[in-house]
Chain A
Amino acid sequence: MNKALAIIISMLMATLPMAQPVFGATDDTTTVSTTVGNRAPVVYDVTDISAQDPVEGTTTTVTFNASVNDEDGNADISVVNATFNMTAETDRVDASCSEVATVNATAKTYECQIDMQFYDATGTWDDTVYAEDTGALSDTLQESFTYNSLEAWTMTPTAVNFGTVYLGQTSLGSNDDPIVMTNKGNYDVSGEITVTALDLVGLTTPAEFIPAGNFSVNVADASSGDAMVNSSAITITGTSLDRGSASSEDLYFYIEEVPASGLSYQVYDTATLGQWTVSTA
């Protein structure tokens, strides 16, 4: 009995200050001195970000909203920023999200815009919104979104010419070498670059042609690269075209040997059988 009594009394003592009005006010006067503490802001909502495609050679602007509440009043919110983060990648940041709406006396909505680079890694990125008040108290809320994959690259020039050549000549580089490939996406195509060549057929005497196998392609400005095979893709040895802000690879085209006989004076080109193709897989 005594134990039960003790418990009840303890509970009563704990709630006595709140229970007091129930039993009526006392006649005592009390001086109350209190200091109003600063309360931290709360980032209570961040809108979902749908999967984003990179855009070749440029940025993709990702826009989303974040809502922040501060019980000390929305005017107390002083900083709202956002960061996209992925391990081993450069952070992408909006250092100051823009206020777009007042929710009520204590909350506001902010719009954040972050530019993702075309070479940023594909995968899941964390999206962290940070809010701070005038008293330097803060809060964060983390979401995530998917950054898709983009295979894209440029090639310039898009044709090669060899000028006038002579029967039996060897190791002739193209006048237009190198062809420069530049990665404009976030997909690593190193080691996956192929060339499909076709025989060059005479413009006036189509029965005469220069076999594709007499040409080669190389990542260095030198002959004896990878020999072409008519109508078949050959993989170029040693290519490196990873994602990056300025990732490029040079290709050099050579005639290894002009046939020593059987060809007449005329133009030989790809007009009859079709263009060559540089591909990545």
Chain B
Amino acid sequence: MKLIPLVTLVVFSLLVTDAYAFGIATDYGSDLINVPITQRTAIYSFRLQNMDDSEMRVSVIVESEDNIARLMNESEYLIPAMSRGVEFLIELSVPNDAQIGNIYNVSFNVKQSGSEDGQITIGQGMGKDFQIRIVSENMEEYAPLDRGSEASGDGGFDYTIAFVGIVVIVALSIAGYLWYRRKQEERNEKFADNPYYY
């Protein structure tokens, strides 16, 4: 082995110790997105975060089968320091020849530029693969139960229903009693007129 320093590979050793810290938030369950066949387009958002103390520039690339997906707006985004409000949008367009049950693969990749310093600079990339499934008009995406409407009656005694129930029972009882009294009087009158009525 030649011990001649022919290849110098470091000038800035240990100058760079930065940490990258960007993130991508996605909706739960977005690995498989159902799109009704009658819905020609749909837009989905992905949120970028940067909890670093300096701003960050990232680029976004979207790939898909049959060009079903495209990135809306620009492909480069500046994420301010300590922010999580930057989103990029992907528009899905259902192909004209799409059939119910068709599945299309879509992916995106977000890359962030590396440090300017250092011999081998290393950037950060994150991506996501997901699928678009064409479904019939009636098959909506899963929606959680609207449990808010159950809230007022859950776990407590409903005094309104109980009150109405008691009033009805009392009214029926009184009516029955009065009807009974009236019949009784009618019978008494008939008996008075005709002791052999029975």
Residues on A lying within 8 angstroms of B by beta carbon are 5, 8, 11-12, 14-15, 18-19, 22, 40, 42-46, 48, 51, 53-58, 69, 122-124, 139-144, 146-169, 174-176, 179, 184-185, 196, 200, 210, 253, 258, 263-270, 275-281
Contacts and interface: CB of A to CB of B under 8 A. Distances in A.
B109 A279 contact: yes
A11 B173 contact: yes
25 contacts: A15-B169, A15-B170, A19-B177, A44-B156, A144-B144, A144-B147, A149-B28, A150-B23, A152-B51, A156-B18, A157-B17, A157-B19, A159-B12, A161-B120, A162-B9, A162-B10, A184-B21, A200-B9, A263-B7, A268-B119, A275-B114, A276-B120, A276-B122, A278-B122, A280-B126
Contacts of A185: 23
Interface of B: 1-28, 30, 47, 49, 51, 84, 107, 109, 111, 113-115, 117-129, 144-145, 147-148, 151-152, 154-157, 166, 169-170, 172-174, 176-177, 179-180
B19 A161 contact: no
Nearest to A53: B25
B26 to A, nearest CB: 5
B125 A279 contact: yes
B154 A161 contact: no
Given A55-B51, A166-B5, A175-B10, A159 B174 contact: no
Q: Which 8 residue pairs across A and B have the least CB separation, nearest first?
A: A159-B118, A152-B23, A279-B125, A42-B156, A156-B19, A275-B114, A53-B25, A56-B23
Contacts of A210: 7
Contacts of A264: 6
Nearest to B156: A42
Contacts of B7: 164-167, 210, 258, 263, 265-266, 268
Nearest to B12: A161
A51 B128 CA distance: 20
A158 B118 contact: yes
Given A124-B144, A165-B7, A264-B6, A275 B1 contact: no
Contact of B174 (A22, A55, A155, A165): A22
A11 B176 contact: yes
A155 B10 contact: no
Contact of B8 (A45, A143, A169, A265): A265
B124 A55 contact: no
B120 A200 contact: yes
A135 to B, nearest CB: 16
A264 B8 CA distance: 9
A139 B156 contact: yes
Contacts of A58: 51
Contacts of B49: 53, 55-56, 150, 152
Contacts of B176: 8, 11-12
B34 to A, nearest CB: 16
A163 B10 contact: yes
Contact of B4 (A161, A167, A196, A267): A167
Contacts of B3: 166
Given A11-B173, A55-B84, A166-B1, A159 B9 contact: no
A146 B144 contact: yes
A6 to B, nearest CB: 11
A150 B47 CA distance: 9
Nearest to B109: A279
Given A15-B169, A152-B21, A162-B120, 8 more contacts: A55-B49, A148-B26, A151-B128, A155-B122, A163-B13, A167-B6, A168-B2, A265-B8
Contacts of A159: 12, 15-16, 114-115, 117-122
Contacts of B16: 157-159
B9 A163 contact: yes
A279 B6 contact: no
Nearest to B125: A279
Given A267-B8, A267-B11, A44 B51 contact: no
